[in-house]
Amino acid sequence: MAAYLDKLNDRQREAVVHGVGNADDVVGGPLLIIAGAGSGKTNALAHRVAHLIVNGADPRRILLMTFSRRAASEMARRVERICRQVLGDNAGVITDALAWAGTFHGIGARLLRMYAEQIGLNIDFTIHDREDSADLMNLVRHELGFSKTESRFPTKGTCLAIYSRVVNAETSIKEVLKSAYPWAINWEEQLKQLFAGYVDAKQAQNVLDYDDLLLYWAQMVSDAELAADIGGRFDHVLVDEYQDTNRLQASILMALKPGGRGLTVVGDDAQSIYSFRAATVRNILDFPKKFSPRPADVITLDRNYRSTHPILAAANGVIDLARERFTKNLWTDRQSEQRPWLVTVKDETDQANYIVEQVLAAREVGVALKQQAVLFRTSSHSGALEVELTRRNIPFVKFGGLKFLDSAHVKDLLATLRFAQNPRDRVAGFRLLQMLPGIGPHRSAKILDAITTDPEPLQALAEIPPPPKTGDDWPAFVTLLSGLRKAEGGWLSAEWEAVKHLQRPLPDDSLVLVDPPAKTVPGLRSEACHADD
527: pLDDT strictly greater than 50: no
Q: Is 40 annotated as a binding residue?
A: yes
Q: Is 37 annotated as a binding residue?
A: yes
Give the CA distances from residue 377 to residues 36, 118, 153, 340, 408, in Å, rounded to whole numbers and listed in that order.
20, 42, 28, 19, 24
pLDDT tens for 59-94 read 999 999 998 888 988 998 999 989 988 888 877 788
Phi, psi of 473 (to 5 degrees): -65, -30
Neighbours of 92 (CB within 10 A): 12
Sequence letter at residue 28: G
C-alpha 69/C-alpha 175 separation (Å) is 32
pLDDT tens for 164-208 read 999 999 999 999 999 999 999 999 999 999 999 999 999 999 999
Q: Is 36 annotated as a binding residue?
A: yes
Q: Is 526 annotated as a binding residue?
A: no
246 by DSSP, 3-state: which? strand
Q: Is 251 annotated as a binding residue?
A: no
Kind and range of the H or E run holding 139: helix 130-143
Distant-in-sequence, close-in-space partners of 320: CB < 8 Å, separation ≥ 6: none
- What percent of the chain has pLDDT above 90? 57
DSSP category for residue 436: S
Strand partners, 31: 264, 297
Q: What is the average pLDDT score of the chain?
A: 86
Neighbours of 226 (CB within 10 A): 17
For domain 343-398, give the CATH superfamily: P-loop containing nucleotide triphosphate hydrolases (3.40.50.300)
Q: How does residue 513 score in pLDDT terms, banded at 50, 70 and 90?
A: very low
Q: How does residue 112 score in pLDDT terms, banded at 50, 70 and 90?
A: very high
Longest Cα pair distance anywhere in the chain, in angstroms? 78
Neighbours of 179 (CB within 10 A): 11
pTM, 2 dp:
0.77
Kindly write down the DSSP assignment for every residue of 344-382, as one continuous string. Answer: --SSHHHHHHHHHHHHHHHHHTT--GGG-----SSGGGG
C-alpha 386/C-alpha 198 separation (Å) is 39
235 by DSSP, 3-state: which? coil
**Domain spanning 3-107+215-303: which CATH class is it, in words?**
alpha beta
Radius of gyration over alpha carbons of the chain, in Å? 26
pLDDT at 203: 95
Q: Is 35 annotated as a binding residue?
A: yes
Distant-in-sequence, close-in-space partners of 416: CB < 8 Å, separation ≥ 6: 428, 432, 480, 481, 484, 499, 502
pLDDT tens for 12-60 read 999 999 988 654 455 789 999 999 999 999 999 999 999 999 998 999 9
Sequence letter at residue 385: L
517: pLDDT strictly greater than 50: no
Kindly write down the DSSP assignment for every residue of 190-228, as one continuous string. Answer: HHHHHHHHHHHHHHHHTEEEHHHHHHHHHHHHTSHHHHH
Domain boundaries, the chain: 3-107+215-303, 128-205, 343-398, 404-481+489-527
3-107+215-303 against 343-398: fold identical: yes
Per-residue pLDDT averaged across 411-417, rounded? 86
C-alpha 166/C-alpha 175 separation (Å) is 8
Strand partners, 279: 246
pLDDT at 414: 86
Q: Is 317 annotated as a binding residue?
A: no
pLDDT tens for 147-164 read 777 678 999 999 999 999
pLDDT at 507: 40
